[in-house]
Amino acid sequence: MSRRMLIAGNWKMNGQLSDLGYFSNLPEQVSTPDAEIIVCPPFPLLPASIEAAKTSFIVIGAQDCHGASSGAHTGDVSARLLAVLGVQYVIVGHSERRADHGETDAMIRSKAEAAIEAGLIPIICVGETLEQRQAGQAVEVVAAQLAGSVPKTGEYVVAYEPVWAIGTGLVAELEDIAQMHDEIRSRLTRGETTRILYGGSVKPDNCHALMLLDDVDGALVGGASLKAQSFAEIIKNTLG
């Protein structure tokens, strides 16, 4: 079963209106890739990013959504509104949101369900902390996150991001990544067709080896997606 490679850049709380030349610089550096390329800027940059990317291969994603379709949720954004803007993917359950905002698996599932309902594809993040890995609990922790946060139906992407590998320059061992992706796939209802991304210090010089792993269908890239040049190198090195 072939799964289309997906490379997503998560800008997190970075980027300015003045940075949107990115959406013309990136396509100048890579010819239309045989993969889905997604960039997820902060909410206020979404409309201008969608406009700037519209004639390119770049698809725009968001970094979060609420589980409800509307209502008294100050500061939150509905999946439905994102879809109306032209957003196609939304990251849910990033470990930074689990940690900074106390998001639970149940909340993440409701966000993923709301995204699917609105016609978006959620990218559901899972991953263990260093303490959990050192205690031999990595698979158990990720399995529990999947059981609690993955919706029963609809299309979604899973991103395995070991918390200790995010923004640290540390990358999980290839063997551990391969094992975890296999564990994740075996627990998904439609495992054969669901794309599973790896995230955590993905850089131009390590992405090729990561993407050669059987069950790795792409990457979720933080820091190295902020500059068009390094993201372009990741795209080229991943597919090359």
Question: Which stretches of the chain bind ligand 13P, using CB under 6 A?
Answer: 10, 94, 161, 166-167, 199-202, 220-224
CB of 203 to ligand 13P, least distance (A): 8
CB of 153 to ligand 13P, least distance (A): 25
Contact of 5 with 35, CB cutoff 8 Å: yes
Bridge partners, residue 176, by sequence = none
Query: Does the annotation count 183 as an active-site position?
Result: no
Separation CA 106–CA 159 (nearest Å): 17
Between residues 35 and 221, which has the closer beta carbon with respect to ligand 13P? Answer: 221
CB of 93 to ligand 13P, least distance (A): 11
**How many DSSP H helices and E strands does the chain contain?**
10, 8
Between residues 80 and 166, which has the closer beta carbon with respect to ligand 13P? Answer: 166
Sequence letter at residue 222: G
Between residues 80 and 207, which has the closer beta carbon with respect to ligand 13P? Answer: 207
Name the residue whose CB lies closest to ligand 13P. 222
Q: Per the residue annotation, which of 66, 94, 128, 181 is the catalytic one?
A: 94
Matching residue, tokens 């589980």 = 67
CB of 11 to ligand 13P, least distance (A): 9
Contact of 22 with 53, CB cutoff 8 Å: no
Between residues 30 and 172, which has the closer beta carbon with respect to ligand 13P? Answer: 172
The angle subtended at Cα 10 by Cα 6 and Cα 202, nearest 5°, is 70
Q: Residue 197, SS3?
A: strand
Q: Per the residue annotation, which of 103, 113, 128, 161 is the catalytic one?
A: 161
- DSSP one-letter code for 131: H
CB of 64 to ligand 13P, least distance (A): 12
Contact of 237 with 217, CB cutoff 8 Å: no
Between residues 83 and 224, which has the closer beta carbon with respect to ligand 13P? Answer: 224
Query: Does the annotation count 94 as an active-site position?
Result: yes
156 to 40, 143, 184, 190: CA distances (angstroms): 16, 16, 13, 10
Active site residues: 94, 161
